[in-house]
Chains A and B, each alone.
Chain A
Amino acid sequence: MMFLAWNEIKKNKLRFTLIIGVLMLVSYLVFFLSGLATGLQNLNRESVDKWQAEAIVLTEESDKSMNQSSLTIEDAEAIDAKELAVIGQINAVAGNGDVKTKVSLFGIREDEFIMPNVTEGKVFTGENEVIASDVLQDEGFKIGDELQLSSSEQILKIVGFTDNARFNAAPVLYGDLSTFHRVKFGEADELNLTSINAIVVRDDNIEAITTGKSLELMQVETFIENLPGYTEQSLTLNFMIYFLFVISAVIVAIFLYVLTVQKISMFGVMKAQGISNGYLARSVIAQTFLLAAVGVIIGFVLSLITGALLPSAVPVAFNLITMSIYGLVLIVVAIMGAVFSILTIVRIDPLKAIGG
């Protein structure tokens, strides 16, 4: 069935190169948007994914926002789960004298599972020491920098860097709980020694976990979906991708239909000669598969090259599994676009070929 398909492509190189070009551009756009969607999602969630936790406990009145949740270490002690970690969080603007950037400060306990790995430097040990997201490195921050924070008199010192540490689009600074308390409460920190924002839970059976009154335990995915702008952003990009699937099906349908209409008399002759609809349909499908596969593969490679050349400020992250699925979907929808042509072929009356 590849015989007819391949020979036609070989004979009409320009025509089919144009079709492959259009499919390549559509798939390039799909892959790039999917990279952008993943990149933007990572921007919001990578520090949370790094916890590898199942659930998070916030106050009910916080409406699933960690920033607005206020609870205590005693609340954590009252929860019976396999593993727990407490976290205090505050947003701020940090500057080293040269550069300023928005950051999210996480106050954690060094011996708990949300303690990040250190890719460069060392872990925090002293007062006001922090491990920073390596995104800050790209922005001009380095180990030993002293950070001035907005709305706080405290000076933090970068002692190490960690990877995959962004929360709600802001690079994360990890410090101990007392550093967090000093930043958040200033001179009143002694009065708020047990204050935290959330309790992170690692337990396969979260349904069995009970929390104190006015607290809410939710799956980490639910928590992420409620990060400001996260769902809206994801939906927008995903809708664009889904529309592109429809658009690619329509483009293929139009192209192949026009080509088929031009070949009606040829198909009529073939059918008069006894060549079955099945053979001709398989040939059209094989041709569409070839065109779509080549277009998708070129689009795939171009996306990866573009991703590698873009500056790190562009939040593109390619997930090869997602891209492979989208690539397959593009090929499948292209083949679905060929259905119109197949129906046209089936309806061709071979009598017309003989002038009956």
Chain B
Amino acid sequence: MAVLELKQVKKTFGSGHKQVEALKEINFSADKGELIAIIGPSGSGKSTFLTIVGGLLTPTSGAVIINNKNLSDISEKERSKIRLKEIGFVLQASNLVPFLTVANQLKLLDQVKKGNMTKSQLDDLYEDLEIGELRTKYPADLSGGERQRVAIAKALYSNPSIILADEPTASLDSDRAYEVMELLKNETKRKNTTTIVVTHDIRLVDYCDKVYKMTDGVLLQVNERNDKRDEV
């Protein structure tokens, strides 16, 4: 059973002459334990795709189904709950609260998610992401790579079904970028989540199980048998 399904999803902005079709009849599905890359240039519709999957934007037509729940059939409040419980976001700019220490970043999630992670699970999370030493540090005291590791820890908090990563390596040098991708890959497999990475950096596709290419609102899967880099 797919964790995430998009059925004939269309999204248009504006009307009349100014109407822009950002997504054109997208069909897409993702299973547990898959790390998927959506590659494409700026303005191709990648971010629109991600915001629709994340329940932040409603499609003009079609259905977005997360764990058998059609996002179009539920209220904004319920969508917000799904974002909180079932989706973890990793954003290009660090999504950390500047005045909270690393430990408090996770404590905040513990408060709003009504504490559904035990202490040992939390310790495991710190250990898996190698951020145990950073607990008392503020985001301003962390390096770019460390910030993204903490951001991934936040996204993984309480084991969401889906991780949505928007250009997670945009602000990092190559070594750090590979490190972050390795981490995302490992955590996806270890926690059996579904991770979708939206990026224009083709170096990252080697880490992914599936690669899709977005061009002018059209999403096409890259042939898995060929070298993914050549295809995109």
A: residues with CB less than 8 A from B are 3-4, 7-8, 10-12, 265-266, 269-276, 279, 350-351, 353-356
Are A11 and B112 in contact, with the CB atoms below 8 A?
no
Are A3 and B108 in contact, with the CB atoms below 8 A?
yes
The CA-CA distance from A353 to B96 in the complex, in Å, is 12
B133 to chain A: closest CB distance in Å? Answer: 20
The CA-CA distance from A276 to B77 in the complex, in Å, is 8
Are B83 and A272 in contact, with the CB atoms below 8 A?
yes
The CA-CA distance from A353 to B138 in the complex, in Å, is 20
Interface residue count on the B side (C-beta < 8 Å): 34
Report chain B residues within 8 Å CB of A351. 51, 56-57
Given contacts A272-B83, A275-B84, A355-B166, contact A7 B99 (CB under 8 A): yes
* Ranked 8 nearest A-B pairs via Cβ: A274-B84, A274-B83, A11-B99, A356-B51, A269-B95, A8-B99, A356-B47, A275-B112
Are B56 and A350 in contact, with the CB atoms below 8 A?
yes
At the interface with chain A, which of B85-93, B119-127, B174-182, B222-230? B85-93
Are A353 and B95 in contact, with the CB atoms below 8 A?
yes
Report chain A residues within 8 Å CB of B87. 274
Not counting A8-B99, A274-B82, A274-B84, a sample of 20 additional A-B residue pairs whose C-beta atoms are within 8 angstroms of each other reads A3-B111, A11-B138, A12-B99, A269-B89, A270-B97, A271-B80, A272-B56, A272-B89, A273-B83, A273-B84, A273-B89, A273-B95, A276-B112, A351-B51, A354-B47, A354-B50, A354-B54, A354-B91, A355-B47, A356-B56
The CA-CA distance from A10 to B87 in the complex, in Å, is 30
The CA-CA distance from A8 to B98 in the complex, in Å, is 9
Question: What does DSSP make chain A's interface, helix, strand, loop or mixed?
Answer: helix
List 16 contacting pairs A-B, 8 Å CB cutoff, sorted by A: A3-B108, A3-B111, A11-B98, A266-B98, A272-B89, A272-B91, A272-B95, A274-B112, A275-B112, A351-B57, A354-B50, A355-B92, A356-B47, A356-B50, A356-B56, A356-B57
B: residues with CB less than 8 A from A are 47-48, 50-51, 54, 56-57, 77, 80-85, 87-89, 91-93, 95, 97-100, 104, 107-109, 111-112, 138, 154, 166
A266 to chain B: closest CB distance in Å? Answer: 6
The CA-CA distance from A276 to B84 in the complex, in Å, is 9
The CA-CA distance from A269 to B85 in the complex, in Å, is 15
The CA-CA distance from A356 to B83 in the complex, in Å, is 16
The CA-CA distance from A84 to B56 in the complex, in Å, is 78
The CA-CA distance from A353 to B56 in the complex, in Å, is 10
Are A279 and B83 in contact, with the CB atoms below 8 A?
no
Q: Which of B47, B88, B92, B97 contacts A266 (CB 8 A)?
A: B97
Are A356 and B48 in contact, with the CB atoms below 8 A?
yes
Given contacts A7-B100, A266-B98, contact A353 B57 (CB under 8 A): no
The CA-CA distance from A272 to B51 in the complex, in Å, is 9
The CA-CA distance from A12 to B56 in the complex, in Å, is 31
Of chain A, the residue at the smallest CB distance from B100 is: A7
Q: Which of B50, B89, B104 contacts A7 (CB 8 A)?
A: B104
Report chain A residues within 8 Å CB of B166. 354-355
Q: Which of B50, B81, B91 contacts A274 (CB 8 A)?
A: B81
Are B51 and A354 in contact, with the CB atoms below 8 A?
yes
Report chain B residues within 8 Å CB of A271. 80
B138 to chain A: closest CB distance in Å? Answer: 7
A275 to chain B: closest CB distance in Å? Answer: 5
Report chain A residues within 8 Å CB of B91. 269, 272, 353-354
Are A274 and B85 in contact, with the CB atoms below 8 A?
yes
Are B107 and A3 in contact, with the CB atoms below 8 A?
yes
The CA-CA distance from A31 to B81 in the complex, in Å, is 46
Report chain B residues within 8 Å CB of A274. 80-85, 87, 112
Q: Which of A4, A10, A12, A350 contacts B108 (CB 8 A)?
A: A4
B84 to chain A: closest CB distance in Å? Answer: 3
B201 to chain A: closest CB distance in Å? Answer: 15
The CA-CA distance from A356 to B54 in the complex, in Å, is 11
B185 to chain A: closest CB distance in Å? Answer: 22
The CA-CA distance from A269 to B87 in the complex, in Å, is 13
B26 to chain A: closest CB distance in Å? Answer: 15
B37 to chain A: closest CB distance in Å? Answer: 17
